[in-house]
Structure 1
Amino acid sequence: MLRSVLPLGFLFAYTLIQAEPPKLDALFPAGGRRGETIEVEAIGKFNAWPTEIWTDHAGLTIAPAEKKRRLTISIAPDAETRPALVRLFDANGSSAAKIFVISDHPETRETEPNDNSTQAQELNATTTGIVVNGVLKKSDTDFFRIKLEKGQTLVARADAYSLGSLVDPFLTLLDPDGHEVALASDSHNLDPYFVYQAIQSGPHVLQIFAMAHPAATAIIFSGSDSAVYRLALSLGSPEPVKIQADHQEQKLADENGSRRMNAPVSVEGILSQKGEVDRYLFEAKKGSAWQFRVDAHRLGLPTDPVFALDRPNGALIKEVDDVKPTKDPGYLSSSMPQDGNYTIRIWDRFHRGGPPLRYRLAITKPEPELTAIIDKDHFVLETNATTELKLKLNRKNGHDKSLVMKIDGLPAGVSLEDANATGKAKEATLVLRASMDAPSTNLPFRLRILEKTDGNATKDSFATRSFLDSKSRGDYLVNKTEWLHLTVKPKEPKKEKEAEKTKP
């Protein structure tokens, strides 16, 4: 019988396991109060500890604690109250950036067990507000007990999707008799928000739970070890969103039920009544170009606006609902069809009305515009090798400038190649190259975009990495970043090939 025979010099195959960079899924708590120092759990996978840490917020001082997966975050008393980005990195590369929110409200954490109404955690909601940090683990739901007096107004908002948690959260409120008096799901994104005025005094129970995002076939409570949330509660009327605009709708001249305005212009409007349609008049010349934009979801408002533009004779030119990834409409008219007074109509998609249903209408002259979107926000470059930076060049309104790309402060032995794009290019692939003797390093960096006219750079901007994608359902607390990360490290040894079998 014939059989295969291995030679005496047979080399057994092996796989060299390459060390992986830190994997940061979330931070818990996902925020803190100015002037405080807190311990934060870094949720994820870390083969080595401690790691190094980067943030885009000057008011944060972050250090790894002795205990693995723990960070000490000190927040300066005068730190800007905004969401910050944090990433962990080591010699093997960087994690994705995650959100940590700086607030000026008292903060606390959920206390388990609080999985049903009898275990509800006591909270003291005040006019100044409180923020509860929690995690919705697999099949989890959290309950909180809040005492309300008749006539008091409770404002509740949960940020979970906004933080990058892969859940679709809900809030429900039960009155002292156990009846559901408020239910909230989506607002300007997947996160819930409600305002409720108590009709009786006594303890009310607030529940937070979530479904899967992206949606799953099974309708069950969803969650994970990284499904962090921030639940903000306050008593009293909600603080209105400040809208920057040239005019308020009600102060514009009324012409037969329409508000007269002169473009370019921006107007703050409100849909006060159910089914209300706001109308605006403006004069335009034949052939003129105008950009129309209605902002509501971008401003964190619940309005889902619809925009329509009519000819001077009343015939419809264009109706626009959503311009993804937002639920806000926009329209570019490159050439108005005739001289005359045009009418803009704005209404809520679901014909709702009331004080929260606000928006901003802006009419501007379109200007050439460039947005450079990079495919990743962290890169690993081995010595004596290259890595690619791929850009999408979104040009609008006739933008046709040639471009030059630069990275300031590249370490010795690292160079940027193919850093040019013609005026018609819609994509660009840049090459980072490291020499054999390039030192190991980690570098936060920004990719500068220089626009050229007649061979001279005239304007610069930065490429951005967008966190929004096809699965996004509205804005995050941070939608994009200019800050990228580069790790330069020694080239990995080649994997040894498996020896071939020989036949006798």
Structure 2
Amino acid sequence: MRFFRSTSTCAALLLAAAGAAADTPKLARLSPPGGPRGTTVEVEFTGRALGQTREVLFYEPGITVEGIEPVESTTGPTRKAVPVDPGTRIRVKLKLAADCPLGPHGLRLRTATGLTEYQRFFVGPFPTVEENEVIGKTRNDKPETATPVPANVTVLGKLNDPTDVDLYRVEVKRGQRVSAEVEAARLGVERGIPDLHLAIYAPDGAKLAAADDSALFVQDPVLSVIAPRDGAYLVEVRHSMYNAANDVYRLHVGTFARPTGVYPAGGPAGEELKVRVLGDPKGAWDQTARLPKAPGDVPFVAVSDGVSAPSPNRLRASPFPNVLEVEPNDTPATAPTTAAPLPVAFNGIIEKPGDVDCFRFKAKKGEQFRFHALAQALGSPLDPVIWIKPVGAKPGAAGQRAADSRPNQLGFAPAGGLIRETHDPVLEFTVPADGEYVLGVEDERGEGGADYVYRVEVQPETSAVHTYIAPEPENQFAPQLRQAVAVPAGNRTTVQVGVFATGRPVAGELELVGVNLPKGVTLHAPRLTPGMTKVPVVFEAAADAKPEALLVDLIARPVGGASPLASGYRQTVPMNAYGNNDYYLHVPIDRLALAVTEPAPFTVKVEEPKSALVQNGEVSLKFRVERAKGFDGPVTVQLEWKPLGINTATPVTVPAGKTEGVYLLGAARNAAAGTHQLTLTAMSGSGRRGYNDGEGRTYVASQPFKLPVAEPHVEARFPRTSIERGKTAALVVKLNHLQPFEGKAAVTLGRLPRGIELADGPREITSADKEVKFTLRATPEALVGNYQGVVLDVTVTDKGQSVRQLSGGGVLRVDAERGAAAKDK
């Protein structure tokens, strides 16, 4: 990871007035969305509250920042200067190293007040040329007006309306490739799915190839053909469905190779791997890749005739040996006679429709293994199915089979929409007996081809617990909200951290630990007990903590030094929304973006409860807002995460100029007894929504505080009671004391029906009282009927704090006056 903190331009990016509340920054898009490595590119970042940008935080290496400046005007569709709103655009000069990895580079901006959404900048090997189509003046939608471009360039293009067609003319010699690749859906947009169509035409106008999609990049098509003659070839880009979901694209066009597969699709970590590059119209070739020592996905860039592919294919580095298929192996009977010991990685190609590949392995009874077939994750067109049977099983005998996987099995945090990688199956296999077994691999649809590459990684089943920031339901239309942590110096912030497990169940308590936190930042989190899926985590920055942004890890580890546990941060960033709030593009990231920002204009402190919140009761939390000089606006406080059975009030707004407030908490009868760690969140301004309401706000958190939940003090039992309208009646409530209290408690009746009132007012009881008597009066407004739900309202003073509870649930019958007709209820 490399990141840059701009110091030369900070003077131009002035802080807001001292003490003023600041807006949470938002990053919507980048223009251009990519550039060639080995160059310096000026990129406009568009969003909100970007005027105080301090640095760019990158998730991958190879890019540094040489300058940041505000944008005061931009060029409109007619190429005239148009002023822009302050803080909505900045210009960043990015230096792309000569060896900068090709493909997407995730990034965020750190401003004086926060971190923006995750966006991606694409790095390619070719120089960039612009389409240069001007609305109403020049068009390139016909062969005679096609934009001429040299071979092996990247065109930054734009489809100006749903029916716009862009044509590019490239001169190619006979026998050379004519290759094209679109980057559009991969760029990531806020709304809609860019779905482009790509076609190649010969000099005589004949269509040589066309595609809407690709196995490599799903809705981003790729094409590569051999030129039948010298001449000018046309490459066409248009919308496939004319929906104009997004109008910006990058088109790589030239004579480069665009392979669609690599075999084998991986190898032992840290070793040199010889692979066969597949899917090129000139035929396959061999190339060597050096795999890193760390297991995981590895970008592989194919090179042919001295020119690299515009983007990488994917390989895997794994900590176990390779086994390559040996034909014939179409049936268990023809599987290799030598059984491979586990763990291992099986590699093969489903080369034709109906093909089945079989591998033999040996294992012992009771061993547990995880078989993970990788194909879709590698950009292969194969939709794999895997199955396991004992060697010698009768034809047609049932075995264990898997055709898909769950997101958590793949290490994906929960996210809405379809995740392509879940088409790669995971089979969790417990060996039933010592012996040899056969692994079968085939295509779910019965298809096959020369680039239907797969890799089945087999490893012992282990336990793992991963962390992520749990999205809030109210942010479903803005899923990146609060998916990073920004904590002001001298203050706190809170996020809801979710956990999900893979493999074997994990027993015992876990604790959350931050790895590589910035200096001066500490983490406060309650312990995780079995069954918990989400907890509030408070990050606190010391007053002298240096403003900076880092990528950190957040792990869960057993409490008390138990056996080690595989753990790490796993966030899924959903992009390209479609349909019913689903998302087409899911980008997994394995580090949490955390920034220390400049001080906030207020803090909030909670007076920790002195007594327990009882089940079926309420407790009032007192809090105080401490304001910096110059900030006098309203502040709204709320509890964002609550344990099961705990109820919260609506957000409480402390008016301008005031400092104190009270927040009400309640507990249902089924609230779990015990002590919970909670925190309050405070935001500048009034209103109940926050975060996604479009208002500029500052967010901070209180210190973590303990909330004990206990059994009620008193259990009330009500006799069935009746009262005649216009009369009085005695109601004696029996008391069962569950826990003692000192002094006297105030008691009254709650939820009385209309027209029923207490004749003698509230009463007092002590821990020694066995009953309490009330006198009821039925006024003429009382309606005849049976009424359920009358409760005893008890307020106990415990350690100087009032604790209120409701108990019982009596039935009261209201009768008409004797000799009088009953009023309708």
State the TM bucket, normalised to the shorter chain: 0.7 to 0.9
Contact residue 406 and residue 419 of structure 1 kept, 8 A? no
- Partner in structure 1 of residue 109 of structure 2: 88
- In 1, Cα distance between equivalents of 2:31 and 2:179: 23
- Partner in structure 1 of residue 402 of structure 2: 320
- Partner in structure 2 of residue 486 of structure 1: 595
Instruction: Confirm whether residue 64 of structure 1 aligns to residue 68 of structure 2.
Output: yes
Return closer, same or farther for 1:90/1:371 CA change in 2, 3 Å cut-off: same
- Partner in structure 2 of residue 168 of structure 1: 195
- In 1, Cα distance between equivalents of 2:463 and 2:199: 47
Contact residue 525 and residue 538 of structure 2 kept, 8 A? yes
**Where do residues 22-37 of structure 1 align in structure 2 (5 Å cutoff)?**
22-37=25-40
Q: Shift in Å at residue 384 of structure 1?
A: 5.8
Contact residue 545 and residue 596 of structure 2 kept, 8 A? no
The counterpart of 1:343, out of the listed 417, 438, 441, is 438
- In 1, Cα distance between equivalents of 2:245 and 2:160: 5
Instruction: Confirm whether residue 249 of structure 1 aligns to residue 325 of structure 2.
Output: yes
- Partner in structure 1 of residue 728 of structure 2: none
Aligned pair count reads 468
SS class of match (1:403): strand
Unaligned runs of 5+ in 2: 1-19, 72-88, 268-321, 408-418, 471-481, 576-580, 603-630, 635-653, 657-825
- Partner in structure 2 of residue 156 of structure 1: 180
Letter in 2 for 1:191: D
- In 2, Cα distance between equivalents of 1:207 and 1:85: 29
- In 2, Cα distance between equivalents of 1:384 and 1:61: 30
Return closer, same or farther for 1:449/1:43 CA change in 2, 3 Å cut-off: same
Q: Shift in Å at residue 23 of structure 1?
A: 2.4
Q: Shift in Å at residue 265 of structure 1?
A: 1.6
- Partner in structure 1 of residue 572 of structure 2: 466
- Partner in structure 2 of residue 214 of structure 1: none
Q: Which moved more, 1:351-360 or 1:202-211?
A: 202-211
The counterpart of 1:42, out of the listed 42, 45, 54, is 45
Q: Shift in Å at residue 291 of structure 1?
A: 1.3
SS class of match (2:430): coil
- In 2, Cα distance between equivalents of 1:361 and 1:112: 48
Contact residue 241 and residue 299 of structure 1 kept, 8 A? no
Cα deviation digits, residues 414-451 of structure 1 (max 9, x gap): 6422253246543333123568x677945334143152
- Partner in structure 2 of residue 8 of structure 1: none
Contact residue 104 and residue 120 of structure 2 kept, 8 A? yes
**Greater RCO between the two (CA within 8 Å, min separation 6)?**
1
- In 2, Cα distance between equivalents of 1:122 and 1:398: 61
Instruction: Confirm whether residue 426 of structure 1 aligns to residue 523 of structure 2.
Output: no
The counterpart of 1:181, out of the listed 208, 214, 221, is 208
Letter in 2 for 1:131: T
- In 2, Cα distance between equivalents of 1:379 and 1:137: 37
Contact residue 362 and residue 437 of structure 2 kept, 8 A? yes
**How high is the TM-score relative to the length of structure 2?**
0.51
Bigger CA radius of gyration: 2
Letter in 2 for 1:403: E
Instruction: Confirm whether residue 258 of structure 1 aligns to residue 335 of structure 2.
Output: yes
- Partner in structure 2 of residue 4 of structure 1: none
Contact residue 568 and residue 590 of structure 2 kept, 8 A? no
SS class of match (1:69): strand
Letter in 2 for 1:292: F
- Partner in structure 2 of residue 116 of structure 1: 141
- Partner in structure 2 of residue 9 of structure 1: none
Cα deviation digits, residues 83-119 of structure 1 (max 9, x gap): 3222223223221121123344444333325551333
Contact residue 352 and residue 449 of structure 2 kept, 8 A? yes
Q: Shift in Å at residue 484 of structure 1?
A: 0.9
SS class of match (1:144): strand
Q: Shift in Å at residue 72 of structure 1?
A: 0.9
- In 2, Cα distance between equivalents of 1:195 and 1:350: 26
- In 2, Cα distance between equivalents of 1:74 and 1:201: 38
- In 2, Cα distance between equivalents of 1:230 and 1:49: 33
Q: Shift in Å at residue 461 of structure 1?
A: 4.9
- Partner in structure 2 of residue 306 of structure 1: 385
Cα deviation digits, residues 30-87 of structure 1 (max 9, x gap): 2323321121222334552655322234432212145453221112234344532222
- Partner in structure 1 of residue 494 of structure 2: 387
Return closer, same or farther for 1:287/1:210 CA change in 2, 3 Å cut-off: farther
Letter in 2 for 1:92: T
Unaligned runs of 5+ in 1: 1-16, 212-218, 499-504
**How high is the TM-score relative to the length of structure 1?**
0.79
Q: Which moved more, 1:107-116 or 1:232-241?
A: 232-241
Cα deviation digits, residues 152-206 of structure 1 (max 9, x gap): 3333322222221342233222333434332223324322223333445533322
Contact residue 321 and residue 327 of structure 1 kept, 8 A? no
SS class of match (1:167): coil
Return closer, same or farther for 1:240/1:408 CA change in 2, 3 Å cut-off: closer
Contact residue 149 and residue 200 of structure 1 kept, 8 A? yes
Contact residue 574 and residue 586 of structure 2 kept, 8 A? yes
Return closer, same or farther for 1:48/1:203 CA change in 2, 3 Å cut-off: same
- In 1, Cα distance between equivalents of 2:398 and 2:173: 51
Contact residue 26 and residue 43 of structure 1 kept, 8 A? yes
Q: Shift in Å at residue 360 of structure 1?
A: 0.9
SS class of match (1:162): helix
- Partner in structure 2 of residue 130 of structure 1: 153
- Partner in structure 2 of residue 329 of structure 1: 424
SS class of match (1:221): coil
Q: Shift in Å at residue 304 of structure 1?
A: 2.5
Contact residue 209 and residue 221 of structure 1 kept, 8 A? no
- In 2, Cα distance between equivalents of 1:389 and 1:354: 46
Q: Shift in Å at residue 381 of structure 1?
A: 4.3
SS class of match (1:241): strand
- Partner in structure 2 of residue 278 of structure 1: 357
**Where do residues 230-245 of structure 1 align in structure 2 (5 Å cutoff)?**
230-231=251-252, 233-236=254-257, 238=259, 240-241=261-262, 243-245=265-267
- In 1, Cα distance between equivalents of 2:353 and 2:171: 32
SS class of match (2:377): helix
- In 2, Cα distance between equivalents of 1:26 and 1:99: 9
Return closer, same or farther for 1:369/1:439 CA change in 2, 3 Å cut-off: closer
Q: Shift in Å at residue 295 of structure 1?
A: 0.9
SS class of match (1:421): coil
Letter in 2 for 1:176: P
SS class of match (2:195): strand
Letter in 1 for 2:504: N
Q: Which moved more, 1:106-115 or 1:95-104?
A: 106-115
Return closer, same or farther for 1:76/1:380 CA change in 2, 3 Å cut-off: closer
- Partner in structure 2 of residue 6 of structure 1: none
SS class of match (2:386): strand
Return closer, same or farther for 1:199/1:69 CA change in 2, 3 Å cut-off: same
